[in-house]
Structures are given as C-alpha cells and as structure tokens.
Amino acid sequence: MPRPPAHRSRNPRLGPSLQLLLVLVAYAAAAPVASLEAPDSAPADQAAAVALGGLDLGALRRDAEGVIAELADNTEGRVYSGAVDGTNPDDLAIAVALIDGRTVEAGRAETRFPLMSVSKPFSYALAVEQRGGDFMADKIGLVATGMAYNEVAAGEVRGTTEQNPLVNAGAIATHSFIQGAGPEEKIGAVVDLYSTMADTSLAIEEDWRAEPRALTYTLAYQMKSFDRLDGDVDDVAERYLEACIVGVTVEELARMGAVLAAGGVQPRTGERVLAEETVRQVLSVMVIAGMYEDSGSWWTRVGLPAKSGVSGAIVAVVPGWGAIVAYSPRLDEAGNSVRAALAIEELSQRWGLHSLDRLLHTAPVAAVKPAGG
C-alpha cells in the first residue's frame, strides 16, 4: 500500500531546552566511538576513533553475550499483566544494528514479541512526516508529564493539557492525525512504515489481539475533550492497539532504530524513509519521555534516546552509529524491562556511547574572553 505524501516542517516549535538537546544530539552523531577491535579496548576518552568499517562484529557479539551471561540469574521485576500468550519470563536477547547495515545478535534472538509502546516513536514519525512537526507539537505537546505512562491525572492536575507522543494519551491521539482514505489505509500506512524501516514484512499478529482496556478509551476521550484528538474515538483507539501488536524480533527492531540513527535513511537499502527534521523531533521526544518517569535518570546514566514497551523491549538509538535493542519481559515499577535496561546501560558504558561523553570529548569549545579584554 503506498504511503500518503509527506509534509515536512521547516521549523518545529521546540522550546529552549529542546533546542539545546538538538545541538547535543547533532554533535553526538558526529563524535567518534570507542574502538571495539578487542574486548579489552581502552575507555572511550583514550581510544582512537575508528570508522564503522573498523568495528569488530565478533567483539560486539562477545560483549553482548557476556552481558547476557551476567544477567542470567537476575529475576527482578514482574511480567506485564496483559502479556501475550507464550511470553517466557526468562527470555533475554540483544541485537545491534549499525548504520552501515551490519547486525549482531545474542541470546534468544529468534523470539517474536509485540512492539507495544515501542511502536510509539515510529507512529509519531509517520504523523510528523504527514502533518509536520509544528502541527504535531501543537496538537499533542512535547512535555514530560512526570507521571506514569497511562495516568489519567496527567491531563487533569497539571497546569496544561499538553502531553507527549510517548505516553498513552499522546500516542493514542497521534494515531488520530495519521492520514489515509479510511481506517484500513491509515493502519496500513503505519505497518508499511514499520516494515520499510525494518527492511522486512511486518504484520499485526491477530493471535495477540485482546479486549481493549477501559483505560485506553478513558485516555482517548480525555484527549478528545481537550481538542487534541481528531475523529472517531473507537476507530483511533483500535488503530493504536493494532500498532501495539505488530510482531518483531530484536534484530528487526534494531534495524528500525538504525534508520533513526542514520538520520532517516534505511542502512540496508539506502532509501530515505524519514526527513532529517522528523528524526530530530522523534529522537528529542525519546530523550524527554521514552523511558517514562525514569527518562531523566536514563539520560543521565545511559545518554541515549530510547523507548521501552511493556512487552519487555527497549530500543536505544546512537545517532551516527546504530541502534541497540534488548528484550526481557520482567518489568520494573515504571514499566521498563529490568534486564533490558541493565543490558543496554552496560553496553553503552563498555562501548563509550553516552551522547554527552561523545560530545564533551570531541566538540569544539568557544573561546571566552574577559568582559574588559
């Protein structure tokens, strides 16, 4: 099914803090990454910068396998109460997709799981492509709520009705602004984008379809009352839920993330899938709210735009380098996978991927002159 035409924003309405973030992400994209030519490579600030072609995939795989072994006995957290049938709490898998098209897998990488909330940044990307960054920022908002991802109070007790596209209320509303001739064409455009980014055919898994929770409709009607959701609530909620049950493996999801890391280009095909302006806005909201109320702590520790889902997956994007995905179904209180978060944090540290570390070690510093000099 052909994708509806894209409309790109030249100047998304982002506040000063977001504008600073965009500068940081841009610098991080150009910064060198620690050499991975040997498992015991030097720290990022001491290692020589290497081109992607110099990265040793064997070293990447050994590191990923080592992290999986270290986390094998970790049983912290609980599986999501609405987990799909067949979910194995002990599953743990990691995949890395580089922007040169190469991939690495470790653990139970053959396991398929539903995207759930990991679908949100990709659906938002389509809406931004179609409607423009200004429009989506106005309609949904770009603010961190400071509350749980499915909290109704987030739209009632704060001084604004603005949300962001990565909490449930904002994500549901995002689907109301996706364009198409009808519901089937709209959800078709969403799945088509996911498939193009993953460079494989993805699909809604009907066996995972469940009775919608009342809270989904509560959030949808709330956004409708705020004039932040367009169209029929039932149709919008249904399409949002269908996007959540698209099935992927860790490698397929990592390839989707690598499109964001490559500035909107699919690394394996060379096709431009998203405008650079779209990627910038998507990565920004992933920093703000991709790990829900733990996003600030995640950014401080790990320094990568990321998105989690209650199926147990986390995708983390390293601009200019690639994407890391980890999957493990047990969740913490915020709804983030315990072991997936620990795995990505450890790999980010080993490989020197923290965005601010990369920036601070490479970005030029402006000369500062005394006021009277």
- 172-184 pLDDT, tens per residue? 999 999 999 999 9
Instruction: Look at 27 and 189; give whichever has higher pLDDT.
Output: 189
Q: Which residues contact 363 (CB under 8 A, 6 or more apart)?
A: 27, 31
Sheet of strand 93-98: strand arrangement: 103-107, 93-98, 322-327, 313-318, 306-308
pLDDT of 42 over the 80 cut: no
Is a pLDDT exceeding 70 seen at residue 21? no
62 Cβ partners below 8 Å, 6+ apart? 39
Answer yes or no: is 1 within a domain. no
Q: Is residue 59 in some structural domain? A: yes
Q: In the prediction, which pLDDT does 365 show?
A: 54
The predicted model gives 178-207 an average pLDDT of: 97
pTM of structure: 0.84
Averaged pLDDT, 156-161: 49
Q: Which amino acid is at 163?
A: Q
Q: In this structure, are strands 93-98 and 103-107 parallel, antiparallel, or unpaired?
A: antiparallel
Could you tell me whether strands 93-98 and 330-331 are parallel, antiparallel, or unpaired per DSSP bridges? unpaired
Q: CB–CB of 138/122 below 8 Å? A: no
Report the mean per-residue pLDDT for the chain: 84
Structural domains counted in the chain? 1
d(CA 37, CA 305): 25
| Res 22 pLDDT > 60 | no
CATH number at 125 reads 3.40.710.10
Q: Is residue 367 part of a domain?
A: no
Q: If you average pLDDT over residues 269-288, what whole number do you get? A: 97
- CA dist 324 and 353 (Å) reads 11
Q: Which residue range is the domain that position 81 belongs to? A: 16-362
Residue 371 lies in a domain: no
**Which comes out higher in pLDDT, residue 185 or 293?**
185
- The pLDDT assigned to 360 comes to 86
Q: Is residue 108 part of a domain?
A: yes
What's the confidence (pLDDT) of residue 71?
A: 98
**Three-state DSSP class for residue 105:** strand
Higher local confidence (pLDDT), 347 or 12 = 347
pLDDT at 363: 56
Q: Is residue 10 part of a domain?
A: no
Query: Does a structural domain hold residue 9?
Result: no
